Amino acid sequence: MAPVFILLGIVALLVLWFVAIYNSLVHLRNYVDNAWAQIDVQLKRRHDLIPNLLETVKGYMAHERGTLEAITKARADAMSAKGPAQAGTAESALSGALRGLMVNVERYPDLKASQNFLALQEELSSTENKISFARQAYNDSVTRYNTRIQTIPANLVAGPAGFTPRELFELTDEAERAVPKVSFA
Amino acid sequence: MSALMWEAVAANKRRSAWLIFILALLLAGMGGALGLLFGGAPETAAYGVFIGLVVWGVMLLINMMGGESVLLASASAREVSHEDAPQLYNIVEEMRLAAALPAMPRVFIIETPVPNAFAVGLKPERACVAVTRGLLERLNRDELQGVIAHELGHVSNRDTLFMTLAGVTLGAIVLLADFGIRTLLWGGGRRRSSGNRNGGAAMAVVMVVAIALAILAPILARLLYFACSRQREYLADASAAQFTRYPAGLANALRKIAMQQDPKKIPVNRVVAPMYAVNPLAAAGSASLFGTHPPTEERIRRLMEMQGAAPEVPPTA
């Protein structure tokens, strides 16, 4: 009789162990999902701010049609992007286009002084900050989750239970990456 | 992201857990000593420990009931929305995202020219951040972000809960010690009348140790409490560095704030004082054993050390 009970005891312990790991993985995955939702909110907010911004600057910057159209196009691309990797590329392009606009604004002192524009600028730069801070939190949570499901012993549970690694959200900006060229002319 | 910041956070958490543990031991020891003194037998020491715990529990309940609103009201703070103070509200939201807090904290402004800030709320879901008008006027965006990050660091490290616990434990120890010493001076309790005094010399030694404990425990507990508080300040600074990834912002803000403290102009009392980013009641730079905040120069030095270790990335603002 005794060996049967010992066997049953071991099985029960194994089941408990499986449940504990499974639950902790669900916890970590929900954390990742929530962190992504936070980024998503801020990305949408930026998309919402852009028509307002374009409306404000249009009157002053009639000659900069190219810059404004680039932003409209980048916004449309970003809004149709799916998943962290695709969104990362599209949102980087949008950031680049917006930065181009802000550089051009320097040439329009009237616009720079406008109260409406100043308020929009604070909102836009704060939204950029929020995106990067939310990204920081999201990537930290993804790293923690991915490390957990790839290491012993949780990987023994993660595989069969269908926990798959998540993508990091990278904003790769060509302008930031490029090595500055110095020319001595 | 430098490993130095993560390490600072982890090391501080370990130290704080130890401090609380030792405070709890002191409380138990205090209760035991009183039980021994008044009961005169080893069994009564256990009753003493139990009574100590009951006192602690009652004090904790009373403390939890007051809550955030009482503290905010005593500092005459006014709640603001995004429309009232867009930049401040945005910065708080940025930092709450960096800290990954579950909800947006409520934002308050205190109308006083002295620059300072504090956070309250026993749970991260119910956090409140208050800043003074002087802070908003004197700091630039990066510095303000550093200060808000420090305050939300307190929230995400659960410092309000932690310091309430530590404070209540200290209070219970002091109360018990007061009671014990007073009763002893008054006539020695039931010590002399109790009949079961077993073994003269050994018991006398135990009694002397118990009396010494009753006198020393509150002093030791006070020292520990203030050490806790200072550790939590360093921890919040480390968290701020981790959230903003720009420790120099907070360092510059601390420099500005420390120069402008004037306890007469800020609605402050001893309960609220330790919660401020820089203690308004303490003279700048004083490093006393009974101070709630570490000296500002030392905080700035540690922040700049983290800045040196961090990659040279300008702030996003």
Enter the ipTM: 0.72
Which is more confidently placed, B183 or A148?
A148
Task: Look at residue B286 in the predicted model and tell me its pLDDT.
Answer: 40
Q: Is the pTM of this model over 0.90?
A: no
For residue B316, pLDDT over 50 is answered with: no
Using the beta-carbon criterion (under 8 Å), do A132 and B90 form an inter-chain contact?
no
User: What percent of chain B has pLDDT above 90?
Assistant: 19
The answer on pLDDT for B314 being more than 50 is no
> What strands lie across the sheet with B106-110, from one edge to the other?
B77-80, B106-110, B128-132, B117-120
Give the pLDDT confidence score for residue B277 in this predicted structure: 63
Average pLDDT, chain A: 85
> Using an 8 Å Cβ cutoff, are B99 and B156 in contact?
yes
| pLDDT (tens digit per residue) in A109-147 | 888 888 888 888 888 889 988 988 898 888 888 998 999
Residues of B belonging to the active site: 151
What confidence score (pLDDT) does residue B194 get? Answer: 46
Q: Which of B94, B144, B312 to mutate to test the interface with A (most CBs of A within 10 A)?
A: B94
Count CB neighbours of B183 within 10 A: 16
Which residues of chain A have a CB within 8 Å of the CB of B316?
Answer: 128-129, 132
Q: Min CA distance, A40 vs chain B (Å)?
A: 12
Is the distance from CB of B156 to CB of B10 less than 8 angstroms?
A: no
Q: Does the structure show a pLDDT above 80 at B2?
A: no
> Around B58, how many Cα atoms within 13 Å sit in the side-chain half-sphere?
8
Model confidence pLDDT, tens digit, residues B226-249: 888 888 888 889 889 988 988 999
pLDDT tens, B161-175? 787 788 888 888 888
Query: Between B86, B99, B243, which is nearest A122 by CB?
Result: B86
CA–CA dist A34, B169 (Å, integer): 36
Gap between the Cα atoms of B317 and B304, Å rounded: 19
pLDDT at A136: 86
Which tops the pLDDT comparison, B68 or B20? B20
Looking at residue B179, what is its pLDDT? 83
Calpha distance B65→B31 (Å, rounded): 25
Strand partners, A55: none
Q: A153 preceded by cis ω (within 30°)?
A: yes
Q: Indicate the Cα dihedral angle A125, A127, A131, A133, nearest 10°.
A: 70
Q: Which one has a higher pLDDT value, B203 or A73? A: A73
Lowest mean pLDDT among A31-45, A61-75, B184-198, B218-232: B184-198
**pLDDT number for residue A119:** 87
Per-residue tokens: B227: 């050490």
For residue B95, the chain A residue with the least C-alpha distance is A133
Q: Nearest residue on chain B to A128, judged by CA atoms?
A: B316
Chain B residues contacting A via beta carbons under 8 Å: 86-87, 90-91, 93-95, 97-100, 243, 245, 316-317
Q: For residues A183 and B100, which has the higher predicted lDDT (pLDDT)?
A: B100
Interval A78-112: pLDDT, tens: 898 887 888 888 888 898 888 888 888 888 888 88
